[in-house]
Structure formats: structure tokens, C-alpha cells
Amino acid sequence: MSVRQPNGAAAASGATVLALIVALLLAFSLSACSGIYYDAQEQILGRQKRHILRSRVEAGQKDQAEAQEQFQSTLDLFKDVTKFDGGKLEGFYKKLQGEYDDSEARAEDVRERIVSIEKVAGDLFAEWEGEIGDIQSADLRRRSRESMNETKQRYQRYIGAMRRAEGKMEPVLLAFRDQVLFLKHNLNARAIASIQQNTVEIENDVAALIRDMRRSVSEAESFLDSMQS
């Protein structure tokens, strides 16, 4: 004798199965899309995965340089509050909000770039690993693996530095946002005093962030140099 599932349980079970099917189809679709993208890059443009990785690392350097400039610009506007002479706070708030929005946008560019770099790097090393197995000569196979391991170590140093810099963006963005919102809610001298009190701490955080970004850019340069050798 079969036991009928309650309608709610059956619906939940069906939804779970459907979600799994969608997830599998999405994973297959993304994998297929990646394969098509790489094939097109190689066949039409003659660009292999290492060329794509190189271009994305170079783009990452540019993204981080732009983020540095934007975070510094936002900090400079915060520091300008010390010169505020009692004019209209509404205008100052709007400028600060605009700087914060631009900082958030630059940070998102960096985040997305990291994901794109990690994707192609993972695909590159997986392909490299697979091709090593096709090499019949034990000596050449050993040398190829050594080369791959050295490249992977340099890459890990680079992406680790980039991730550390990324990790310092969020606390700075949160500090920026707190001050912007407080100013929005209190367009008066008390809000200005709050910004003045917190500027030094924010300045230290931005300085640490910029130092880490510069280290990341330097690691990127070393990694790019190693890919040429």
C-alpha cells in the first residue's frame, strides 16, 4: 500500500529536484560557454589561455590603480570638511555621496576582475596538468611539471596579494558609508564634527589599503615578467 505524500511535501520535493536540474544545467552551460570562448580566442585571435590570463592581470593592475585614485579622492573630500566654513551642507553631502558611489564602483570592478582572473588561471593550470600527462618523455614531463609549479607559486603570491588588498576595501567603504549616512541624517555642525573626529582613522585605513594595492600591482608585475621568461 503506497503512502501519499502531502501536497506540500510533494511540491517541496519537486522544487528541490527542479533546483538541482537547473543548477546542473547552469554549470554545464557555463562550462560550455567557457569552452566556446577559449576556442574562439584561440582559433580566431590566436590567443591561448596564458595570453588571456596575461591580459586580465594587466587589466587588474589598471583596475587597482583606478581604485587607489578614487579612494584617495574620497578621502581628500572627507579631509576637506575641516575647511568647511558653514555653507550649505546639502551640497557637500551630495559631493560626498558621489565620491562614495564612485569608490564602491571601483571596488566592484576589482572584485569582478579577481573572479575573472581566478577563472582563467584555474582553467589554464587544469589544462596544463592534463597536457603533462600526454608527454611521453619522463624528463620533459618532469621539467614541464616543475615549470607549472613555479608558475603556480608565483600566481598564488600575486592573487594572494590582490585578495588581501580587496579585503581591506570593504572596511574603508563601510567607514565612508557610515559618515555619508550620518551626514545625510544630520546636516549640521554635529555631523561635521563627527567626520572630523573619524578622518584620521579612515585616513590610516586608506593608507594601508593603498599600500596593499601597490604591493599587489608589484606582484602582478613580477608574475607577468615570469610569464615572459
* Cα gap 53→171, rounded to integer Å: 29
* Mean pLDDT (whole number) for 41-67: 85
User: Residue 179: which of 206, 199, 209, 208 has the closest Cα?
Assistant: 199
Please indicate, yes or no, whether residues 8 and 110 belong to a single structural domain of this protein.
no
Please indicate, yes or no, whether residues 113 and 202 belong to a single structural domain of this protein.
yes
Please indicate, yes or no, whether residues 115 and 130 belong to a single structural domain of this protein.
yes
* Cα gap 70→100, rounded to integer Å: 9
* Mean pLDDT of the chain, nearest integer: 84
Strands, E, within 167-208: which ranges?
A: none
Q: How many residues does the chain have?
A: 229
Q: For the whole prediction, is pTM greater than 0.75?
A: yes
DSSP state of 4: P
SS3 of residue 131 by DSSP: helix
Burial of 126 (0-12, 13-18, 19+ CB in 10 A): exposed
Please indicate, yes or no, whether residues 28 and 125 belong to a single structural domain of this protein.
no
Please indicate, yes or no, whether residues 43 and 53 belong to a single structural domain of this protein.
no
Confidence band of 194 (pLDDT split at 50, 70, 90) = confident
Residue range 62-77, pLDDT digits in tens = 999 999 999 999 999 9
Query: Quick one: cell of 51?
Result: 595570453
Count the alpha carbons within 13 Å of 115 in the hemisphere toward its beta carbon: 6
Please indicate, yes or no, whether residues 11 and 88 belong to a single structural domain of this protein.
no
User: Residue 213: which of 67, 70, 96 has the closest Cα?
Assistant: 67
Task: Give residue 95's domain range.
Answer: 49-228
Please indicate, yes or no, whether residues 25 and 83 belong to a single structural domain of this protein.
no
Please indicate, yes or no, whether residues 92 and 14 belong to a single structural domain of this protein.
no
* Cα gap 225→139, rounded to integer Å: 25
Contact 195, 81 (CB under 8 A): yes
Residue type at 116 in one-letter notation: S
Please indicate, yes or no, whether residues 112 and 6 belong to a single structural domain of this protein.
no
C-alpha 106 chain-centroid distance: 10
C-alpha 151 chain-centroid distance: 21
Domain termination site, one of 47, 64, 82: 47
Task: Tell me how many domains the chain contains.
Answer: 2
Query: Quick one: cell of 95?
Result: 559631493
Owner of C-alpha cell 618532469: 142
Please indicate, yes or no, whether residues 56 and 96 belong to a single structural domain of this protein.
yes
Query: Quick one: cell of 205?
Result: 585605513
User: Residue 221: which of 110, 62, 106, 107 has the closest Cα?
Assistant: 62
Please indicate, yes or no, whether residues 76 and 17 belong to a single structural domain of this protein.
no
Say yes or no to pLDDT of 57 above 90.
Answer: yes
DSSP state of 5: P
Four-residue CA torsion sign, 169, 175, 178, 183:
negative
Please indicate, yes or no, whether residues 68 and 160 belong to a single structural domain of this protein.
yes
Query: What phi, psi does 183 have (nearest 5°)?
Result: -65, -40
Say yes or no to pLDDT of 29 above 60.
Answer: no
Residue range 117-126, pLDDT digits in tens = 999 999 999 9
Confidence band of 28 (pLDDT split at 50, 70, 90) = very low
